[in-house]
């Protein structure tokens, strides 16, 4: 069975006011100190690794789970690491919130380091304002050739994942009118968004090399395709989702994405060509998903015509159902989809909180509480 790993970016906020705090360095230092005090299994010394890394802005913290094959184990891992992040943040008066943009006004602070300094100079306000938190899902593949075959075949389905995960309705103190405004801000990067069918691993790598060769991008890490080959792991990395408020939602996404990867790999092995959906249509589907989330129309991935959100999600489920059954994940996914339709995604939860609380500050603090809820 293909292994799965999840990366999440969390917002660091004042535990009382909900205002974003530029304290990632202090939080990482707290994680380092604890890791050093905990000896590695079977050794007398300290220095055990932890899951956390810095990101572009000082107001965010990133973590990555270990690769697993069981979704129950993945959920336990996400809950555990979110809890650790909250404990480290508390040492400096901060909390972590799994929300994809800050509801409160903020002037983000670029992190230190040559790469981040280069990005600030190269991209100006695009880098300065890029305080967004995403969820990236890695699924193992046997080779680059299989990976690119997968990338070519999952293209039409990715916008539905954006809609399901949408968790960023507010921007700089205002309702953006979008369910996932993060997806719109993220697409300011020149390499972000959907891409054409590649056809082979050689063509994929040629395209990446040509893009870096322009000088616009610094390195392969700045290839921000909606889905790409990981430069670090033997995986396909799907990057379209907002970080999700409830810890069960990234697990649902991971199960569906593994299903997409397996379904696409089987189609490639059977000689079934990828759907030739134009990239311009995929951009419209991505915009529609960011605008609507689950509370408005989406584009049907099979026809690129407008349909209701429930129909689009059902189409995704049906597309990957055979793989889900083979993985023993069909019941989990059906229950997760039903719960998501009933309760809504993070965008709906945040707007409900604003209606009940009457202000954005308690929206953030309540979301921080929900982030670490088991």
pLDDT digits (tens, 9 = 90+) for 298-343: 999 999 999 999 999 999 999 999 999 999 999 999 999 999 999 9
pLDDT tier at 39 (50, 70, 90 boundaries)?
low
Domains and CATH numbers, the chain: 4-41+50-355 (3.30.590.20)
What CA–CA distance (Å, rounded) separates 174 from 356? 16
Q: Over the stretch 97-149, which tens digit does the pLDDT of each residue have?
A: 999 999 999 999 999 999 999 999 999 999 999 999 999 999 999 999 999 99
**For 241-296, what is each residue's pLDDT tens digit?**
999 999 999 999 999 999 999 999 999 999 999 999 999 999 999 999 999 999 99
% pLDDT > 90, the chain: 94
**Per-residue model confidence (pLDDT) at position 38:** 66
**For residue 24, pLDDT beyond 50:** yes
pLDDT band at 236 (very low <50, low <70, confident <90, very high): very high
Encode pLDDT of 209-233 as tens digits.
999 999 999 999 999 999 999 999 9
pLDDT tens digit sequence for 186-196: 999 999 999 99
With 60 as the cut, is the pLDDT of residue 12 above it?
Answer: yes
Query: 60 Cβ partners below 8 Å, 6+ apart?
Result: 9, 10, 11, 12, 24, 131, 133
């Amino acid at each position: 069975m293909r292994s799965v790993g999840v990366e999440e970016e969390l917002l660091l906020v004042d535990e009382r006011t909900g205002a974003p705090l530029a304290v990632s360095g202090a939080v990482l230092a707290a994680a380092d100190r604890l890791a050093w005090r905990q000896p590695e299994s079977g050794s007398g010394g300290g220095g055990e690794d932890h899951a956390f890394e810095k990101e572009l802005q000082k107001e965010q913290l990133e973590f990555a789970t270990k690769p697993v094959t069981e979704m129950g184990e993945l959920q336990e891992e996400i809950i555990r690491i979110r809890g650790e992040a909250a404990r480290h943040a508390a040492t400096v008066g901060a909390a972590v919130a799994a929300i994809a943009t800050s509801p409160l006004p903020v002037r983000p602070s670029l992190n230190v380091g040559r790469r981040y300094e280069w990005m600030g100079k190269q991209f100006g306000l695009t880098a300065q304002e890029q305080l967004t938190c995403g969820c990236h899902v890695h699924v193992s593949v046997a080779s680059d050739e299989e990976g690119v075959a997968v990338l070519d075949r999952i293209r039409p389905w990715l916008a539905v994942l954006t809609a399901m995960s949408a968790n960023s309705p507010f921007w700089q103190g205002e309702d953006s009118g979008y369910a996932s405004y993060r997806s719109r801000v993220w697409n300011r990067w020149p390499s972000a968004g959907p891409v054409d069918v590649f056809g082979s691993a050689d063509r994929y790598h040629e395209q990446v090399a040509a893009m870096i060769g322009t000088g616009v991008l610094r390195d392969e890490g700045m290839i921000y395709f909606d889905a790409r080959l990981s430069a670090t792991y033997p995986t396909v990395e799907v990057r379209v989702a907002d970080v999700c408020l409830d810890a069960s939602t990234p697990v649902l996404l991971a199960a569906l994405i593994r299903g997409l990867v397996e379904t696409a790999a089987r189609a490639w092995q059977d000689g079934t060509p990828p759907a030739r959906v134009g990239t311009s249509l995929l951009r419209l589907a991505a915009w529609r998903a960011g605008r609507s989330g689950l509370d408005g129309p989406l584009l049907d991935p099979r026809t690129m015509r407008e349909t209701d959100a429930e129909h689009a999600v059902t189409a995704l489920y049906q597309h990957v159902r055979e793989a889900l059954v083979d993985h023993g994940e069909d019941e989990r996914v059906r229950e997760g989809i039903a719960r998501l339709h009933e309760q809504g995604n993070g965008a709906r939860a945040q707007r409900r909180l604003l209606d009940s609380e009457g202000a954005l500050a308690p929206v953030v603090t309540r979301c921080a509480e929900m982030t670490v809820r088991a």
